[in-house]
Amino acid sequence: MFIGKNYPLKKITTIGLGGYCKEFICPEEDKELIEITKTNPLYIGNGSNMCFVTEFYDRTIVSLKKMKKYINIDEQYITCSGNISCTKLSRHLHDNKLPGYEFLYGIPGTIAGAVTMNAGAFKKEIMPNVYSIDLLDEKGNAYTLTQDNLSYSYRTSNINTRSIIVSIKLLRQTEDFDINLLDTLNDKRKSTQPINQLSCGCIFKNPPGDYAAGLIEKADLKGKRVGGIYISEKHSNYFINDGSGTYKDFLLLLQCVKNEIYTKFDILLEEEVILLK
């Protein structure tokens, strides 16, 4: 089991910001994980929808990245460990000619993170495809949530943040398999979103009936920079860390965008990214 004391936060999220945390733990076996659940830690997937805005995060952070990874397919379901990356899962299903999960390709998170956030792309989202989720509660007890117990809406779900998602059962889809779809969607993603840069995806949720990126562009904020954090030229709802950015730059830019959009359009943007301090 890996235990990093006073661990640098910038190493555990894709935007790479923040100071240090009390400890970062990566269990390798079930019994280690069960013990850790009793300490009320913060669970993290690939940290692609999280941003630490603090010098010191005074909690234990737990990642499943060193635990066993698997994908099993049967007649009805696709069962996978929560720590599988969305891209790997999507590619595996595509290679097995199983349709319906191409939209996950290129989302740089784990399937557990995707389920928690009800991640989506290209007019699809993950939650309607979930049959059940296996979790451990804060006492280390296993339980299962099935479709009837799950509720969700745009980029949110009712999954208890004190529980850890261990595995997920997805429904096999019946639509026709399109051999070109994965590449088509991936090309679309690459041409419209900044990939291979330090970011945490979309910063703001789209307000009802509108697009956060469109509002930011209309407000002439594309490219706006505070220190080492700037608004992407490719997609205005992405903040990029040029490598020298700090969480303070991030917070200043965030507030600036919210203020401008509110002043100009009377719309209060809500963060999609989870801010932790």
Ligand X SMILES: Cc1cc2nc3c(=O)[nH]c(=O)nc-3n(C[C@H](O)[C@H](O)[C@H](O)COP(=O)(O)OP(=O)(O)OC[C@H]3O[C@@H](n4cnc5c(N)ncnc54)[C@H](O)[C@@H]3O)c2cc1C
Residues in contact with ligand X by CB under 6 A are 14, 43-50, 64, 82, 107-110, 112-114, 116-117, 119-121, 161, 164-165, 193, 195, 199-201, 274
Q: Which is nearer to ligand X, 142 or 262 (CB)?
A: 142
* Minimum separation from the CB atom of position 184 to ligand X (A): 15
Q: Which is nearer to ligand X, 12 or 261 (CB)?
A: 12
Q: Which is nearer to ligand X, 114 or 253 (CB)?
A: 114
* Minimum separation from the CB atom of position 116 to ligand X (A): 3
* Minimum separation from the CB atom of position 97 to ligand X (A): 23
* Minimum separation from the CB atom of position 178 to ligand X (A): 19
Contact 127, 115 (CB under 8 A): yes
Residue keyed to tokens 């099993």: 72
Residue 121 phi, psi (nearest 5): -165, 155
Q: Which is nearer to ligand X, 257 or 276 (CB)?
A: 276
* Minimum separation from the CB atom of position 266 to ligand X (A): 26
Contacts of 250 (CB under 8 A, 6+ apart): 15, 17, 51, 53, 226, 229, 239, 241
Q: Which is nearer to ligand X, 122 or 265 (CB)?
A: 122
In total, the chain counts a number of residues equal to 277
